[in-house]
Amino acid sequence: MGAGRLYTAVAAGGFRRYATYRVATAAGVFTNTAFGIILVYTYLALWDEKPHLGGYDQTQAVTYVWLGQCLYATLAVQGGGVEKDLMERIRTGAIAIDLYRPADLQLWWLATDLGRSLFQLLGRGVIPFLFGAVFFPMALPSDAGTWAAFLVALLLAMVVSFGIRYLAALSVFWLMDGMGVNQVMMITGVFFSGMTLPLNVFPGALGEIARALPWAALIQTPADVLMGETSAPEAFAFQAGWAVALLVAGRLLQSTATRRVVVQGG
């Protein structure tokens, strides 16, 4: 089997695996829709007091909320993607089996996570987004070109998200447990991705730093592409730069870990 077919099959396997959790998916759809409603009315009240906060009008703020609910599980903003399985395999020593496979470790887990992301987008993300579009005014583009640019930004966001979580998972080679790392990822993911508030509203140096970090590529950048608040080439360059940097860092850390660290449990 060629490399392309191999990793396509791995991605398809990741999609099928998460598609089996139907009750959890339905619960996630309900949760994201409920939180979306709560956040929308909170944002509307905030934008009533501060019109054009962060350069957004109320319609754009509402769009941002529903896009965040759509991408929350898709991009594993608080973790909960394949990195949990990888951490457990490192902790138990089962990672040794992965290293013997005639496949690249990083690409294997990337393909698996892309399959997971695609299912979460279709199975859990689309319905809350459509609910928001039906019941609330949203600033959605009418041209196919903007939607195509948004899909490219979303794919790059998936890769950036994986890059962050892959680095976190590899830390278990040294820490022997991923609980603390997972907690840090939850906090940084929600705050710096713009899941709670758009990064555009962060003041001064804090805002500049937040918008320069890789988490900004997850929610903020795709949202600005969708609403025409940034140029697509600029957004792609920012996301692609972080994607390459994180994947290279993951490759280097993986090489160090598998060459120098004794596998836990084996």
For the chain, the farthest-separated pair of C-alpha atoms sits apart, in whole angstroms, at 59
Instruction: Give the separation between CA 76 and CA 162, rounded to whole angstroms.
Output: 9
8 A C-beta contact, residue 162 and residue 75:
no
Phi, psi (degrees; rounded to nearest 5) at 155: -60, -45
Structure tokens at 177: 């447990």
CA dihedral 108, 89, 157, 77 (to 10 degrees): 160
Instruction: Give the separation between CA 89 and CA 9, rounded to whole angstroms.
Output: 21
Residue 67's region, left for phi above 0, alpha for psi from -120 to 50, else beta, is alpha
Instruction: Give the separation between CA 112 and CA 11, rounded to whole angstroms.
Output: 5
| pLDDT at residue 266, as a whole number | 47
8 A C-beta contact, residue 18 and residue 119:
yes
Smallest CA-to-CA distance from 13 within 67, 71, 85 is with 85
Q: What is the pLDDT along the chain (266 residues), one digit of tens a residue?
A: 578 889 999 999 999 999 998 999 999 999 999 999 999 999 999 999 999 999 999 999 999 999 999 999 999 999 888 999 999 999 888 888 888 888 899 999 999 999 999 999 999 999 999 999 999 999 999 999 999 999 999 999 999 999 999 999 999 999 888 889 999 999 999 999 999 899 999 999 999 999 999 999 999 999 999 999 999 999 999 999 999 999 999 999 999 988 765 555 54
pTM for the structure as a whole: 0.94
